Amino acid sequence: MLTAKLILDRLDKEGRLLERKEQKSRSFTKGLIQLLYVAHAQITDASPYSMTEYGGAAKNVDSAIPGSTNYTRENKCTLKVGGGPGNSENILLPGKSFLANNSIGLNDVSKEGQYIGIQVGTGTNAVTPTDTALQTRIAHGKTAGLLEYGGCELVGISIVNPNGEFTIRRYFTNNSGGSITVNEVGMHAAGSWGHYLNGYSNLFLIARDLVSPGVAVANTEILRVTYVPQITV
């Protein structure tokens, strides 16, 4: 079985730990199962699988293997959760060459880093398997109600019988001028669709967890959110 720990650390601006909350992640959503299905079944671009991205739109996803004439090395962003900070541009590789075919615009496969990987929000509704977005996502920024998203990083894969795990984490800095309470945490992973003349990449919710009571992050404080996926045989 795969399980995950969820850890929220509230730090002061010097990085000193003020509060730690650790809980079992309860809520990998259907999005993870769908992306694994797409990869296992090698869903083709001609018969793609439709998923709902975090913004609510239906988007095709595939795991297409292009022909050798399409200037590709079979790169594919499926399940990507590592991402850059804030509004930094990230290319989500769609599986086929978008550089050699001008009709696939870079804009269709690039996303701001804030939307990739760990997300936080203020919603308190119960989690369901079919959730496709946080209830009320906190966006990246430094005005009222916003948090500055650091990069979403993966570190520390470790496998020693009978256990294995790695860490996914992200820092959120509150420079909004006021306190913000985080009640929900989740994770976006990438999926894409494309053939040699067209394509796009999108982000899908694969986990959502409630944090109750929420963690109040005062102005200038930092919130570190960590997911630790684990397997045990």
Partner 1 sequence: MPKAEIKAKPDLKLIREEEIPHLLVPGEVGAVLELIVKDKNGKVTNHKVMRSRSFVRQFLELLWVQMYQIPESAAYSIKDTSNVAQNICESAYNFNCHAAAGDATLGIIVGTGTTAPTIDAYVIETLIAHGVAGGQLQYSEVTFGDPASDAATSQFTITRDFANGSGGAITVNEIALYVKGYKYPTPYYFMIIRDVIAGGINVPNGQTLTVNYREQAGV
SS3 category, 144: coil
Rank residues 68 and 107 by Cβ distance to partner 1 and give the closer one.
68
Minimum CB distance to partner 1, residue 160 (Å): 8
Which of 17, 20, 22, 26 touches partner 1 (CB under 8 A)?
A: 26
Single out the segment in contact with partner 1 by CB under 8 A; choices: 24-32, 97-105, 106-114, 170-178: 24-32
Identify residues 69-98 at the interface with partner 1 (CB under 8 A).
73-82, 93, 95
Q: Is 202 in the site for partner 1 (CB under 8 A)?
A: no
Place of tokens 């996502």: 137
SS3 category, 224: strand
Place of tokens 């990998």: 28
Cα–Cα distance for residue pair 161/232, rounded to 1 Å: 8
Cα–Cα distance for residue pair 64/192, rounded to 1 Å: 10
Minimum CB distance to partner 1, residue 57 (Å): 18
Query: What is the separation of C-alpha 141 from the centre of its chain, rounded to a whole number of angstroms?
Result: 18
Rank residues 15 and 129 by Cβ distance to partner 1 and give the closer one.
129
Minimum CB distance to partner 1, residue 105 (Å): 20
The tokens describing 189, both together, are: 């992973």
Which of 8, 9, 30, 224 touches partner 1 (CB under 8 A)?
A: 30
Q: Is 32 in the site for partner 1 (CB under 8 A)?
A: yes
Cα–Cα distance for residue pair 224/210, rounded to 1 Å: 16
Q: Give bridge partners of residue 137 from the DSSP assignment.
A: 121
Identify residues 122-141 at the interface with partner 1 (CB under 8 A).
127-130
Q: Is 159 in the site for partner 1 (CB under 8 A)?
A: yes
